[in-house]
Amino acid sequence: MKKIEYTTIKGKSLPFFALLGGLGFIILLGLLSTWHMEHSGHWVTGMTNQIVWGMPHVFAIFLIVAASGALNVASIASVFNKKLYEPLARLSALLALALLAGGLVVLLLDLGRPDRLIVAITYYNFKSIFAWNIILYSGFFAIVGVYIWTMMDHGVYKFKRIAGISAFIWRLVLTTGTGSIFGFLVARSAYDAAIMAPMFIIMSFSFGLAVFILVLLASYNWTERELGDVIVNRLRNLLGVFVAAVMYFVIVFHLTNLYATQHHDVESFFLLDGGIFTNLFWFGQIFAGSLIPLALIYAPGVKNCRKSLATACLLVILGGMIQLYIILIGGQAYPLEIFPGYEVSSTFFDGVINTYTPSIYEIALGVSGVALSMAIVVFAVRALKFLPTSLADSVADPHA
């Protein structure tokens, strides 16, 4: 492999400022939506006292999970010493921080009273997985920040592998914590499964890599830099493995629940008679979000087709959003099982399937988190040397 040179992008063209302006406008819409929800109350959203985590949480958790997975490319280079991925490590780490920042901003604004964040930071309930996640998120920023420093400063370059291993371990713990939020909620029949933690880890690999590939393709296409087929095809194959792995975990999760008699009702709800959730599962998550991307990745004749790869990535992201919508919203829509083995009936929604329709304000807030993440990436590649000048096969391929 030849010596890789990194440069900033020029960032002086009209399309560059149009991109920043568009992202800024979306962020502004998100802030206005937040102000309206805070000023008027959450009755203007689709959330109720039964479904308290709405569409912004879907966006937030997707961004947080994808942040961990976006770092996977850098981890492959530093931890597993794969030279082909080394030129991508800086962008991988940057994207991880940007996605986490966007997700946490959405999460903070959706929960209400963001001014009381200092209370959550300074007073911990160590029996709460939410409190542990504050530590994990803060640590992720610190460790990945140091990791980027070791990659960009030759004075501390010798510590890059140590920083990379630390970031790799920390992100696995972080995603385990995110998945455990659901796995520990025993009162929710749709959650309450130890497999949630490893499933979220492999979900992060798939979602994060899909986002990374799209950012990589867009960056090199818009800046007219050369991007060789060797790296693109390696990332294509890796994405296919991760998408298939997510399907495997989903199958195991549902088969495990079907084996246990107490979960037959909730499985019937999701797989057969859950209305919108059943349709989203089969047509959105499985068909559009898994099977079609696998076909676009592995079908004969598409090996060097970047449009098919970009389409596959978009569908993986869409399928990931749908999967989290099913987990998050569907899990709350199904009635709480407070007294297992007993039939509960009252006037307070007991045994009732809860309904939820997201409002435009919730969607605007969620999309603004995505825009904020992308804006951070755009500013960073303009200010600092995150992108290699060329990733042509003759430069990036260690066997060239």
Two structure tokens written together for 238: 């890796």
127 confidence band (pLDDT: 50, 70, 90) = confident
Q: What is residue 191's predicted lDDT score, i.e. its pLDDT?
A: 83
Q: Mean pLDDT across the stretch 63-75?
A: 95
How many Å apart are CA 250 and CA 238, to the nearest integer? 19
CATH of segment(s) 6-252+359-396: 1.20.1630
Two structure tokens written together for 178: 């995110």
Q: What is residue 333's predicted lDDT score, i.e. its pLDDT?
A: 87
Q: What is residue 112's predicted lDDT score, i.e. its pLDDT?
A: 72
Domain map (residue ranges) of the chain: 6-252+359-396
25 confidence band (pLDDT: 50, 70, 90) = very high
87-96, 224-233, 388-397: least confidently modelled range: 388-397
Work out whether the CA dihedral 45, 49, 54, 57 comes out positive or negative: positive
Whether the per-residue pLDDT at 400 is higher than 60: the answer is no
Kindly report the average pLDDT of the chain as a whole number.
89
Alpha-carbon distance values, 339 to 135, 180, 256, 263, 351 (Å): 33, 22, 22, 14, 11
* 265-283 confidence digits (pLDDT tens): 888 899 998 889 999 999 9
How many Å apart are CA 266 and CA 31, to the nearest integer? 37
Residue with tokens 């947080």, as numbered in its chain: 64
* 163-209 confidence digits (pLDDT tens): 999 999 999 999 998 888 887 777 677 887 888 989 999 999 999 99
Higher pLDDT, 123 or 166: 166
Q: Mean pLDDT across the stretch 367-378?
A: 97
Decide: 356 and 48 in contact? Cβ < 8 Å.
Answer: yes
How many Å apart are CA 382 and CA 60, to the nearest integer? 26
